[in-house]
Structure 1
């Protein structure tokens, strides 16, 4: 049995995460610093190419210097787990539920967040002690999926990924998502400041807002 309760601490600062996918070293580092300056505490870099792994290493080092958290995404194989830990990642994220990857990551000292899209996957993950779960693809599943899953699984803490933007992030947070992770939308420069505007003066999202 594994668990990923360390995400309680990782995401305590703000309910937003920036996903820096395939941006290269320099641009990933620049956008990471911008995100941190705007109140984001956590960024994720998917690792699918050697350039991605180098970007993760550089951003993870910069994150440690600033006291920020940097994770590795699209971790779908044991080799990816080893690459993530060698690059200095603080956690791993996967698009699907692979308990072998979860255990390998946990054994390496990194909490792992598997992806789920069905009640069966949520139930299996929770049985293993995994309370923080990536909802993917969130824009396809919709906000009603979040509220529906909270009925039978109130202990689940969902991080929505896939199709998230400044336009819909607030809707998913109000529906019960604990964190919204924004990726491809960050190609638009205005997305980060618009997302940061969702946060209150102390960096918290006010779920009761209309």
Structure 2
């Protein structure tokens, strides 16, 4: 069985499911999988406990239905409680928009993959020194490809992934600039298409990413 990190690195793309209800999750993940994407992040909501509960339900459903064929993680992980709840639901990695040392350490204590978000070289190095496995550069499109190239010159030992504003047209630019992969949200996991039940269109969107 491949490790979670191996799956993330080899496949280069994590699909971000934000605001997709659990009752549509299996069809959504199946469409992504049919399109060649096997790493899925399901996000918590900092505003809604109801949505966060549904996040945990969705993670459990994905893990139960797809098993080791899908690497499922939790997103917008802001607290230690989020880490523990997501781990109990079956999440294999924790992705955050920020750096929280307690979140990173709890993730690693549970034997899971830590992917916190950073903006500056100092933040990237600090997150890695705290135990992060991969550091998420966010928001990547605001930072730009030239920024990625600039910081990956001196920071060669830390795996970086680009998140925020990524789409099929620019994903490879960020990988060529030095990132090990990218994460894509609404440009791929399109809520309107999913709510309309057009999972074939989701599959076709997934197939546009040739990384």
Quote the residue 1:202 is aligned against. Answer: none
In the TM superposition, what is the alpha-carbon distance from 1:97 to its structure 2 partner? 0.9
1:163-200 alpha-carbon deviations (Å, 9 max, x no partner): 1112221221222221111112221655653443332x
Quote the residue 2:197 is aligned against. Answer: none
Quote the residue 2:164 is aligned against. Answer: 162
Quote the residue 1:3 is aligned against. Answer: none
Q: Structure 2: 5+ residue runs without aligned partners?
A: 46-51, 194-200
Deviates most, 74-83 or 32-41: 32-41
Partner of 1:180, secondary structure, is strand
Q: Structure 1: 5+ residue runs without aligned partners?
A: 1-5, 200-204, 206-210
Once residues 207 and 134 of structure 2 are traced to their aligned partners in structure 1, the CA distance between those partners, rounded to angstroms, is 22
Quote the residue 1:54 is aligned against. Answer: 57
Deviating above 6 A after TM superposition, structure 1's stretches of 4 or more consecutive aligned residues are none
* 1:57-96 mapped onto 2 (5 Å cutoff): 57-64=60-67, 67-96=69-98
Quote the residue 1:104 is aligned against. Answer: 106
Q: Normalising by the residue count of structure 1, what TM-score does the alignment of the two structures yield?
A: 0.84
In the TM superposition, what is the alpha-carbon distance from 1:96 to its structure 2 partner? 0.7
- How many equivalent pairs are there? 194
Distance 1:7 1:148, change over 3 A: farther
Please state which structure has a larger fraction of its residues in helix. 2
Tell me the C-alpha RMSD between the 2 structures. Answer: 1.9
In the TM superposition, what is the alpha-carbon distance from 1:129 to its structure 2 partner? 4.4
Distance 1:129 1:50, change over 3 A: closer
Quote the residue 1:198 is aligned against. Answer: 209
Partner of 2:11, secondary structure, is coil
1:99-128 alpha-carbon deviations (Å, 9 max, x no partner): 110111111221111111001101212333
Distance 1:8 1:56, change over 3 A: closer
Q: Normalising by the residue count of structure 2, what TM-score does the alignment of the two structures yield?
A: 0.84
In the TM superposition, what is the alpha-carbon distance from 1:92 to its structure 2 partner? 0.7
In the TM superposition, what is the alpha-carbon distance from 1:71 to its structure 2 partner? 0.5
